[in-house]
Structure 1
C-alpha cells in the first residue's frame, strides 16, 4: 500500500492510495484508522482509490435516474440485487433497480408505500412477492432480492419479508440497467424519490447469513459479483463499477449534464448533508484537515482474507474553509422589536466565524452558525458579511448580504364606534 498524492479539493483533503493486485483475490477492503481511534472500512474496492469519504446519490422522484449499459455480466440466471435506500416520499411504484424491456428483474417500492417488491421474469411471466412490512421514510434501509433458480426472497434490513417459488432461469435481455426509475419518458410513475447508495448485483443467491453480514457492513465472500456501485465519486457524470467487470454508468442517459441527473449527496444526489441517524453500510465521513489517519488494505478470496498490508500514515493538509452560505432575515420579536436573524453554513475546516455589519466587525469570533442582531432601528438598511476562519489559512468570506429591517409596527387598535340619534 502506498500514498501517491495528498491535496485539497473543494475545501476538503483528498488522499490518492494505491496497492498491488494479489493472485486469487476478487476484492479488497481498505481500513482507515481515524484520529478519534474509530475505524472506517471501504469494502470491495479497486486500486487506485481516491479517498475523501463516502457519498450517495439523491433522486428527485420526477425524472432522475442512472443508466448502466447492458453487458453479459448483467444477465445472470440467478441473482442477488441489493441497495441502501433513504426514501423521502413514496412515489407510485418507485423503482430502485430494474432491467426491463425485455423484462428481466426489478426491485422497487409497492404502490405508494414503503413495502418492497422483488420480481424476476422467467417462463413468460413475472415471478415475485411483496413484503408485508415497509421501509420507513427519512431513514436508511437495506433492501435485497435473491433468486436461486427455485426460491426467491426479499429482505428489509437483514430480515426476510416474503418468499416466492418458481423453477427456472431469469430471462436474458439487451436493455440497460437502470437505478432510480423504470421509465425514461415524461411520466413520473415508477420513479424513486430520495437517496440510494451501495448498489450490488451478484450472479448467485446470497444466503441469509450473507445478507445479515452485508446489513452489518461485513463482506467476506464476493464470489460472482457482477456489479458494485459505491456512488463515492462525489461529483461528475460517471459512476465506477468496483467489480472490475467494467459496468460503469452515467447520471442520466449520457455523460452530459442533464435535468435527468440525480444529485450528489455527501457525508458530513447539489451536495446535501446526510441525516444524523445514518445507518447506511460503508458510510465513511470526509477527511478533516490537519489530522492524522492510518491506512491498511486486505485482499479477499473465496471465504478467506489476507493479512493486512503495511500501514501508511497520512497527515492531511489544512484546507481553506468553505465559503459560508449566509442568509439574513428581517424579523419581529413577540414585543414587536425589530431584529435581523443571521444564519450560515458550516464545514469541517472552519473553527470560528467573524461577523461584519456595514463594514465593521460586530462579533470577532463565534463557533455558532446563527446570530440575532438586535441592535437595529426599524426600517434601516444594513449589509452583512461572515468570514470563515481556519487553522493557518486565510479566512473565506461569504457574499455581502443587504437587508432592510422590518418596521414591526403594532397593529392599530380596534376602533370603538358609537352612534347617537338626534333631530336638527
Structure 2
C-alpha cells in the first residue's frame, strides 16, 4: 500500500476507510522534544534549531535546508544544572555502589578466611585425632605384646610346674616302691620262719618244711605248692590275704568273719510224762527273811551288769618253736634281683625327655600314656624280657591255721611275697 492510499484512507486489502494508521506525536526539530513542532518551540533561537536529517524513507516529501549547524547547539543553564545534578547523583550512586561492592568483597574475603580457618582447624583436629589414634594403637600393641609375654611366661611356669610335679611323682613312686620292697624283705626275714601254730584243742602240730635250696627252678616251686595243697584239710582253713585295693575306690568296711563253733550244743531230752517241778531256790538269791506276825518274803538280789559278769577264759595256746629257716630262698632271691633290675631301669629312664620316651615307646610297641606310665611300662617290658613272666615266680607261701584266734600275722605272708615279687 502506497503513501497516497494511506492518506486517503483507502485500504488496499479492501478494509474500512475509517481504519487509519496511527502516527507518533510530532517532534520538535529545534529541541528534539515530542509534543510540538519547531515553529511552536519556545526556544526559537537560531542556535537551538537543528537540521532534520533527510532519509530515503521520508514519505512527506522534501524538506527545507538546514538553517543552523547542530554542532553549535548549546544547552540551557537549567538543563546544565539538571545534568550536573544527575551527574552528581550518578557519581554518588557509583561511589555508594563502589563502597557496597567493597563491603561485599570484604564480607566475602572474611567469609572465605573464616572458612579457610575452619578448614585448617578441622585439618589440625583430624591430624591430632590420627596422631592420638596412632599413639593409642601403639600403646595397645605394646600392651598386647606385654600380655603375650606374660602369657608365655605363665605357660612356661605352668609347664615347669607340671614337669616338676611329674618328676616328684615319679621320684615318690620309685621311693615308695623301694620302701615297699625293703619292708617286705624285712617282713619276710622276721615272720618267714613262723609258719606253724598250735591248736587250742590240743590237735597235732602242723609243721611244714620249706623246700631245699637246690629247688630254684619253676618246676620245684610248682611241686612244693602241690604238696602243700594236698596236705590241707577242712579244719585247717587258710585265711584270706589282704584284698587288692583298686584305684580311685573308697575303702569298704566289712564285718569280721566268724566261724561257727562245732559240737558246742547238747540235744534236748524229751519225756512222755509231765513232772512237777521241785520248789528250788534260784541260785544267787538271798534267804527268806522271817518277821513275827508276817509271811516270809524273798529279798531279790541286785542284778550284776553284763560288763561285770565273768566269762570263761579261753585257754592259752602254746606256740611251737619252728625250726630255724634261711631268710632267703632262691625264689625270693630271684624276686629281689628282679625288683632291683626294675628300679635300675626306672632310674635310667627317668632322665629321658618326652620325645625320647615317645620314640622308645614306639620302638618297643608300647602306647604312650604319659611320662610316668610309659616309664613303668617300659621297665616292666625290660624286666619281662630278661626274667620272663611274673606268673612263674609268684611263690605263694601257704599258711595253715589250726586255731581261730592265732595266725593272723602269718596269714598275710603269702600276699606280701606276691607284692614283693
TM-score, normalised to structure 2, is 0.17
Hey, which of these two has a bigger chunk of helix by percent? 2
TM-score, normalised to structure 1, is 0.17
